């Protein structure tokens, strides 16, 4: 079905992003995989085109698109190339940006946002901890007030962009007695004494995305690096998780759709028993199912994007989009691997990499099980 949420301006922007991917990413894709990180030059190339500052006011160096649909287009085009690209860039321009734009002082904006927009300042967000997973309210990292500073101790894990980030938005417990209502956000910057990183984590998929453990050993952070109000961090995270989750859904479905298109072409060219493998009734029916799943899911995600662009996306609808798109993505890619036969198990084929890359989408941004819990609660259960 024809998609209706995008205008000519969005499609012109899509063409620009597609050209960026072709020129600045595809020729270097294998190197990104080998070094398990995206070159800083590529970040800066994205910055020069205004992609990293879509949600940042012009006075602080951003392109101030004023329309979330541009974020969605960027996420789709990056995901078509690689799930890891959408992940790494998305954490920066789609997840971290709202915290740095909406919760910071003008002084902080002037200090961080211009370099954020150019790609000189790569960002990450430190929520997940080794013992907590999806349970953000149970985090153990602490921040204790010491004069005009805060002393942070603890650790984070599975942090996208964690190895190369210049600034990490860290959630820390400031009032333990208040539980979830006692969490505050801080900007921990590269070079602060006591802030260190573990090795790049050896993941099953998405090697281009540098992911790391972060350690805080008596890190002294000035109050000038506190983001938002004291003890309001959990609320700030909850308010911004719907954008993270609809962003994940956008990438999930675009990623799966791109690989399904390639698999359909493969099924038309590959022959077995004297005919195209796609012409066998079972495979034909399977493709009919997969295409329908993609298009129906895309329609729901598009409605979520439109709602978010209007400021009307609920946390529950974002949870629905996140878990369902991740499930469909994994179902589709599993079938695509099977349709490729033995070749589908070879890392040199995009379908094999995509299959590995997608497995995490049912876990991150809140596991699918947590998403169902949120939806179930909304049903009064």
Active site residues: 244
Beta bridge partners of 356: none
Q: For strand 211-222 and strand 149-160, is the pairing parallel, antiparallel, or unpaired?
A: antiparallel
Angle of the 68-81 helix axis to the 281-309 helix axis, nearest 10: 150
**The dihedral sign for the CA sequence 65, 67, 70, 71:** positive
Rounded distance, CA 54 to CA 35, Å? Answer: 28
* E runs forming strands in 180-233: 183-189, 195-200, 211-222, 226-227
| Phi, psi dihedral angles at 371 (to 5 degrees) | -60, -45
DSSP codes, 288-305: HHHHHHHHHHHHHHHHHH
Among residues 139, 138, 136, 164, the alpha carbon closest in space to that of 153 is found at 139
Q: Which of 134, 361, 371 is nearest to 256 (CA)?
A: 361
Q: Is 195 left (phi over 0), alpha (psi -120 to 50) or beta?
A: beta
For residues 154 and 142, is the Cβ–Cβ distance under 8 A?
A: yes
* Token pair 């878990």 in the structure block, residue: 323
Residue in 40, 86, 25 with CA at minimum distance from that of residue 360: 86
């Amino acid at each position: 079905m024809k998609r209706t949420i995008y205008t000519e301006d969005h499609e012109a922007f899509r063409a620009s992003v597609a050209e960026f991917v072709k020129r600045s990413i595809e020729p270097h894709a294998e190197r990104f995989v080998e070094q398990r990180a995206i070159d800083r030059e590529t970040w800066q190339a994205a910055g020069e085109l205004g992609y990293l500052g879509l949600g940042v006011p012009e006075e602080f160096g951003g392109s101030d698109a004023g329309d979330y649909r541009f974020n969605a287009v960027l996420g789709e085009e990056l995901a078509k190339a690689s799930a890891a690209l959408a992940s790494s860039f998305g954490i920066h321009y789609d997840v971290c940006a709202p915290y740095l734009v909406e919760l910071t002082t003008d002084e902080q904006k002037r200090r961080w946002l211009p370099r954020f927009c150019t790609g000189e300042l790569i960002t990450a967000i430190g929520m997940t901890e080794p013992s907590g997973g999806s349970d953000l309210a149970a985090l153990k990292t602490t921040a204790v007030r010491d004069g005009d500073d805060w002393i942070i101790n603890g650790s984070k894990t599975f942090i996208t962009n964690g190895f190369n980030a210049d600034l990490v938005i860290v959630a820390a417990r400031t009032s333990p007695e208040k539980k979830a209502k006692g969490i505050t956000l801080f900007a921990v910057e590269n070079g602060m004494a006591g802030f260190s990183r573990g090795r790049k984590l050896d993941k099953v998929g998405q090697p281009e995305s540098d992911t790391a453990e972060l350690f805080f050993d008596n890190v002294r952070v000035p109050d000038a690096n506190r983001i938002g109000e004291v003890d309001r961090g959990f609320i700030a995270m909850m308010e911004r998780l719907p954008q993270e989750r609809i962003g994940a859904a956008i990438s999930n479905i675009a990623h799966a759709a791109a690989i399904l298109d390639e698999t359909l072409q493969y099924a038309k060219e590959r022959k077995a028993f004297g005919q195209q493998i796609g012409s066998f009734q079972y495979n034909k029916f399977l493709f009919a199912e997969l295409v329908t799943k993609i298009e129906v899911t895309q329609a729901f995600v598009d409605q979520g994007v439109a709602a978010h662009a209007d400021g009307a996306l609920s946390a529950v609808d974002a949870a629905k989009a996140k878990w369902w798109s991740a499930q469909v993505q994994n179902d589709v890619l599993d079938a695509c691997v099977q349709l490729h036969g033995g070749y589908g198990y070879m890392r040199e084929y995009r379908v094999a990499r995509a299959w590995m890359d997608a497995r995490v989408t049912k876990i991150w941004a809140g596991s699918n099980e947590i998403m169902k819990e949120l939806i179930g609660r909304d049903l009064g259960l």
